[in-house]
Structure 1
Amino acid sequence: MLFAGLYSDGRYIGQLALVNCSKARAWDEKERGELAEVAGLIASEAKTLEALDDANRRAEYYRDVDPLTGLFTYNMFKELAQKALDQGVARRVLVASDIKGFKYINSAIGYTQGDNILRMFADMVVQSSGPEVINARANGDVFVTLGVYEDRADFQEKLLLSNENFARLQNQIYDGINIRVRSGVYFLDPDCREIDLAVDRANLARKSVDYILKSTVVLYKDAPFSIKLRENEMINRMEYALMHGEFQVYYQPKIYLKDGSVAGAEALVRWVREDGRVIPPDEFIPLFEKNGFITKIDLFVLGSVCRWLKEREERGEPLFKISVNLSGADVRDDQLVSYIAEQVEAFGISPEYLEFELTETAFLSDTEQIFSVLKRLQDMGFTTSIDDFGSGYSIMNMVAEIPTDIIKMDCAFVQNCGKTDRGREFLGQLVLLVRKMGFVALCEGIETQDHLNMVKKMGCELGQGYYFSRPVPRPEFEEWLKKQRFHPGEICDMIEVNHRGKQEG
């Protein structure tokens, strides 16, 4: 057996053996030299293979890890983050951050110092991250983080503090440059299951920092770009939502304050998507008022109310007045009263059980048309009311002439005026004035026993608010009604009495 050592850069890596299995023999110098030459070739090849293997390992490592910062690459981030979202999105948050004007900073202080800033920024991202966090350098100076949160406000405050501290430190180190960190935050919605969508929304918020100068942190829901995006999503879905039952009617009671009995209820629309996500009314109602879809929604609510009243009548259950909201866009439609009459007649509902509410702000334009619609509704036997009275646009100069029956004081009166003696005096005089003018006074926003005691003392006839019940779906409202007392004619009786007083005065 003949042996030859294998060496790479003077380092022993193995040996080569030549064996004659037929018989023992002696090896001459020529054979020894040839074996050594073969061993050298093998060692050289092994060195090449070792270098190649090392290069492959490095390439594989840097495929997943950014060589400058040590954070994950964006592709690796997406892979890991998507797996995390597949397990659930509850309390997940996506943050996208960058350094504003970083190209200018590179030019001003050089790329070497710019790289140092990026490394320190990456360290800050890691140090400010909580548990179960995936960090990555997406590209250039943009970093993304998928994490979890306990409290949204606390998370936002800590992120803002980290950004400010980093900027302050860098501006002290590098004189003459102004470093500002921008962060966009997206608290994941239940229906957001794609990491690409989450990153897009966080980036939209990040780019909005320049438009919202008060902070270096912007939430996706507050970003101008995201508002437009959400509006487009709602517009694209509104017809489908109406056809597939996503719009639901909730009910909130109106209480006769004299004895706490149920005097009526207000029907309110809510948008509950098929996936369970609730879209707040203050998002979709203003949008639908602008594009005209609100009329379809209001007529849908009216139809739902009429159907329920008919069902109660057929079951022999007590009926009471239910109010339906009308928007300014509704009353500008010349066919509105005809649409209402058709729906009510189709279900055979007496007009005495229906009330139509119009917000004070609707009187901003086309007052003559609004007066005409309200008068026609009254002539047909319906009750009319002015909602959110005193919320902003004052109609005090025309209120005496408005063909309405009930004035609903905006909830801000109860919740704010009740805090001071002067405020209580103002609200009390307003209630007195409304009643003297022949209208029924209703105070919204009653949430506490003190609120209730205050408005009762002022002589307010009707009340509405969370103290009695929040707006709830019909099944829940029906259960609530089973425990209540009814005075179905009370509102009508009050209207008649007040109107007689108005005529006599």
Structure 2
Amino acid sequence: MDGNEELKEKLLDHSMTREELLLEHTHTFIAEYSYKTGQLEIYPEDGHFVDFDRKSLDTDFEHAFYKTVFKRDLPLYQQLIDFSGVTHSVQRDANIRLYVVPHIYEWFRISVLYYIDEDGERDRIVLAFTNAEKELEAVHELKSLVTVDSLTQLPNINTFSMQTWELLKNHPEREYAIVRMDIRKFRLLNEFYGTSEGDNVLRFLGVKLQECMDSEELYTYCHLTSDIFAVCMSSDMESICRVIDSIQTSMNHYPVNFEMVMSFGIYIITEKDKQERIPVVTMVDRAAIAQRVKNNYMNKIAVFDDKIAEKEYAEQNVIMEMNNALGSDQFHIYLQPKVDMITGRIVGSEALVRWIHPTKGVISPVDFVPIFEGNGFISEIDFYMLEQVCKMIRRWLDKGLEAKPVSVNLSRSNLYSPRILNDIMTCVERYSVPHDLIEFEITESAFAVDNIHLNQLMEQLQKNHFRVLMDDFGSGYSSLNALRELSVDILKIDIKFLPVSQNDKRADIILRSVTQMADQLGLEIVVEGVETEAQADLLKKMGCRIAQGFLYYRPMPIEEYERVLKKQK
């Protein structure tokens, strides 16, 4: 049923008020004339859109609208209202042009309902005028909302996807690429100048994108969201670079004191993509992956390649399997002993996670820890490891085995959880583990974010008799400042950052100074990564005592660690 039929049906339904009808048909007005009372009603009173002859309404209602009707449509209008010989109530409709103002006419859909009383006499007539052009404008506006980005007036992602596939279909002989672009640190621009200015920047970029693409042949483009835009164009790198240079040059001239550095990711569309109809949004995502993997301040353009594809596939496999791996205890503790270089005895260990897959074997932490850090799953791993360490120490104590302190890593994502101390205490108390057997390692890079919050957490851990280690001391740029502000118990120095050798006097001086400083502050030092006797000898001469490294022990399963401890005893 079309809109006109629906309106007629509702007009015949006297249970529906005229006001309700008008709410649904905002571009409609109704004229109702009673032949018995001679009374005319217009609904709404000032809502009609045409100028009719009010003087003739009382005597000749059917002809009152004649001067409003476009002359060529008068015969159709006369047929519409001609009810001579009508013996029962009927309805008719037609599309007729009416003058809305002098010399300007618009199409109206006119529905006429003619009512006859029980005696067969004329009772009343109802004309419903619906401005079809106004409705058409509303349809166009709605269509625009669905297909066009309201801020930049560029096509949105749905339109872009449709137009891009049409482009690929119509020109199969050509090779195309998706170019995804955004503005680096756009969030800061919004913070400095406000979102209104940020919107102006996006409109400006939208205009410049259209201007530079006008010189190209066969392309599509869109505004995806926020500061992200995308283009599908020839995969010729010369053309792509020309567009990129044009956009970057335009943004450099935007009148605001903010460095408009653009970032570009490129994905070359393959024949396989076309055959399998890979979603355009997936291609845009791959261009984004290239940006994430390869972009840096000096390199603004990144192309998605086979290596990135392999890495993306591997990462996705890790993500798909991580929850099942955690639920089925595929993550295991490996312990790397900490050794007193003077006595050669084990004084403690660090708990390291290893993923032992049922079919793939041991998966290196390098292949999954960065992914977990990126998606937040590392928080789950941290507390899984803490609980496993607590179980392990509890078992040692119950069997009367020698228990040495074990350090557990806390990732940055966990450090800022408001529940972290409560969760730690709950886990440790559940297994009644003495607090001096648990140590927490926090990487030095975490101290550069929020020292006030971290200091509060570390003080709370120390008040509960846990020792805190600053891991990778010296690897960042805030080590000394963090050491001044934060209370730590142990510094862990990776020898890779200070390569100890007979000929490296600068590194030796720095390490000797750090050792002396730690001694004066009452801090212990653990040097990790020790691999040669020469390194160990030099470290001992400098006053370092505790070391970790392949010279002494590699990370090992719990059972092997227990055997080593027994043998040492």
Q: TM-score, normalised by structure 2?
A: 0.46
Structure 1 counterpart of 2:486: 402
- When residues 408 and 476 of structure 1 are mapped into structure 2, their CA distance, relative to the original with a 3 A threshold, is same
Structure 1 counterpart of 2:317: 233
Which of structures 1 and 2 has the bigger CA Rg? 2
Q: Deviations over 1:14-68 (max 9, x none)?
A: xxxxxxxxxxxxxxxxxxxxxxxxxxxxxxxxxxxxxxxxxxxxxxxxxxxxxxx
1:289 is the counterpart of 2:388: no
Deviates more, 1:418-427 or 1:372-381: 418-427
What pairs up with 1:44-443 in 2 under 5 angstroms?
Answer: 223-415=307-499, 419-443=503-527
Distance across 2 between alignment mates of 1:419 and 1:291: 43
- What is the one-letter code of the residue matched to 1:263? V
Note the residue ranges of structure 1 that are not aligned, 5 or more in a row: 1-102, 106-203, 486-505
Q: TM-score, normalised by structure 1?
A: 0.52
Distance across 1 between alignment mates of 2:380 and 2:341: 34
Distance across 2 between alignment mates of 1:341 and 1:467: 35
Distance across 2 between alignment mates of 1:392 and 1:474: 32
- When residues 291 and 393 of structure 1 are mapped into structure 2, their CA distance, relative to the original with a 3 A threshold, is farther
Distance across 2 between alignment mates of 1:418 and 1:386: 27
Distance across 2 between alignment mates of 1:371 and 1:404: 9
Q: CA deviation at 1:398?
A: 2.7
Distance across 2 between alignment mates of 1:227 and 1:391: 27
Larger RCO, structure (CA 8 Å, separation 6 or more): 1
- When residues 416 and 281 of structure 1 are mapped into structure 2, their CA distance, relative to the original with a 3 A threshold, is farther
Note the residue ranges of structure 2 that are not aligned, 5 or more in a row: 1-172, 176-285
Q: CA deviation at 1:246?
A: 1.2
Q: Deviations over 1:301-343 (max 9, x none)?
A: 1111111111111111111100000011111111011111011
State whether residues 499 and 507 of structure 2, in contact with CA within 8 Å, keep that contact through their aligned partners in structure 1. no
Q: Tell me the secondary structure at the aligned position of residue 415 of structure 1.
A: coil
Q: 2:537 aligns with which of 450, 453, 467?
A: 453
State whether residues 255 and 262 of structure 1, in contact with CA within 8 Å, keep that contact through their aligned partners in structure 2. yes
Distance across 1 between alignment mates of 2:444 and 2:502: 22
Q: CA deviation at 1:416?
A: 5.2
State whether residues 407 and 438 of structure 2, in contact with CA within 8 Å, keep that contact through their aligned partners in structure 1. yes
State whether residues 413 and 427 of structure 1, in contact with CA within 8 Å, keep that contact through their aligned partners in structure 2. no
- What is the one-letter code of the residue matched to 2:557? P
Distance across 2 between alignment mates of 1:104 and 1:341: 63
Structure 2 counterpart of 1:145: none
Deviates more, 1:261-270 or 1:289-298: 289-298
1:465 is the counterpart of 2:549: yes
Distance across 2 between alignment mates of 1:394 and 1:454: 26
Q: Which runs of structure 1 show a deviation greater than 3 angstroms over 4 or more consecutive aligned residues?
A: 413-419
Matched residues, percent identical? 34
Q: CA deviation at 1:392?
A: 2.7
- When residues 416 and 280 of structure 1 are mapped into structure 2, their CA distance, relative to the original with a 3 A threshold, is farther
- What is the one-letter code of the residue matched to 1:303? E
Deviates more, 1:459-468 or 1:361-370: 361-370
- What is the one-letter code of the residue matched to 1:249? I
Q: CA deviation at 1:419?
A: 4.9
- What is the one-letter code of the residue matched to 2:461? L
Distance across 1 between alignment mates of 2:409 and 2:503: 30
Q: Tell me the secondary structure at the aligned position of residue 403 of structure 1.
A: coil
Q: CA deviation at 1:104?
A: 9.7
Structure 1 counterpart of 2:197: none
